[in-house]
Amino acid sequence: MYSPNSRIYGRDAICLQLNERAENGVIRQSWIHGHERIEKVSEAKIVELDHFHTLLFSQIHTQLNKTSLT
């Protein structure tokens, strides 16, 4: 069982991040259900996070290319 004081790494860290964006009930359930927490998050929120990461990595890549060319 996880508690709010637990250190969570890897896939669980992503799940926890998604739950923090969801309703309060989902956050409470996430501490109880551990690995099942990803199932408590709507697909729309997962897509939103994936889209954000895609944009972020794209911006970093573009900036690195500009820096290396100058």
2: exposed, middle or buried (Cβ count in 10 Å: 0-12, 13-18, 19+):
middle
In the predicted structure, residue 64 carries a pLDDT above the cut 50: yes
Q: What is the pLDDT of residues 18-43, one digit of tens each?
A: 555 555 444 444 444 444 444 454 55
pLDDT for 32 equals: 43
Over the chain, what is the mean pLDDT? 54
Entry pTM: 0.27
User: Is pLDDT larger for residue 62 or for residue 43?
Assistant: 62
Closest of 62, 67, 15, 18 to residue 44, by C-alpha: 18
Locate the domains of the chain by residue range.
Answer: 11-69
